[in-house]
Amino acid sequence: MKITGKHLTVDMYGCNFEKLNNLDFIRSAMLIAIKEANLTLLNFTYHQFEPLGLTAIALLAESHMSIHTYPELSFAAVDVFTSGDPSRPDRAIATLKSILKPERTKITNIRRGDFISESDIRPKVKVSIAPLRRVRSTGARVLRFLSRTK
């Protein structure tokens, strides 16, 4: 089955404090990344937090890109979701990494809309009923013990 979208979430650690709190710098970095990845910008919005940090979101024809910055932690959380075969969110991420220059990154690749993937419909955690049976059995024994006549 064909997936409907590519979703990359990236944690960038060890970024420059001043750059993460600079809206013009973040906006410029996002616009360059959008251009390098051949994405189409529809709208750009942001919110500058007091005293530090900002959130910037680019609405794309292909989906969206967002950056949440935490300058006091030298951390940026980046999210790029694109749909369609020609989209390349990895190029946008590579561009942002070259501009923000994090010391360390953690990238998570999420396949969106993979409706038939067995791994999506299989339970992630195996559930065992044995502990519940033990509790029920113990409860019954306690009740029998307490209800015994002396």
The more confident residue out of 142 and 20 is: 20
DSSP element (H, E) containing 7? strand 5-13
**What CATH homologous superfamily does 5-121 map to?**
S-adenosylmethionine decarboxylase (3.60.90.10)
Order of strands across the sheet that contains 75-83? 41-48, 54-60, 63-70, 75-83, 5-13, 104-112
Phi, psi (deg, nearest 5) at residue 137: -65, -40
Domain ranges of the chain: 5-121
Cα angle, residue 7 at apex, residues 6 and 9 outer, rounded to 5°? 150
State how far the alpha carbon of 101 is from the alpha carbons of 15, 61, 69, in Å.
6, 27, 14
Nearest partner of 90 among 99, 100, 80, judged by Cα:
80
Q: Convert the pLDDT of each residue in 31-88 to its tens digit.
A: 999 999 999 999 999 999 999 999 999 999 989 999 999 999 999 999 999 987 667 8
pLDDT at residue 4 greater than cutoff 70: yes
pLDDT of residue 131: 64
Average pLDDT value for the chain: 86
- Kindly report the number of other CB atoms within 10 A of residue 72's CB atom: 12
The more confident residue out of 63 and 127 is: 63
Cβ neighbourhood burial of 84 (10 Å; 0-12, 13-18, 19+):
exposed
Beta carbons of 20 and 71 less than 8 angstroms apart: yes
Q: What is the mean pLDDT of residues 27-32?
A: 97
Res. 97 pLDDT band, cuts 50 70 90: very high
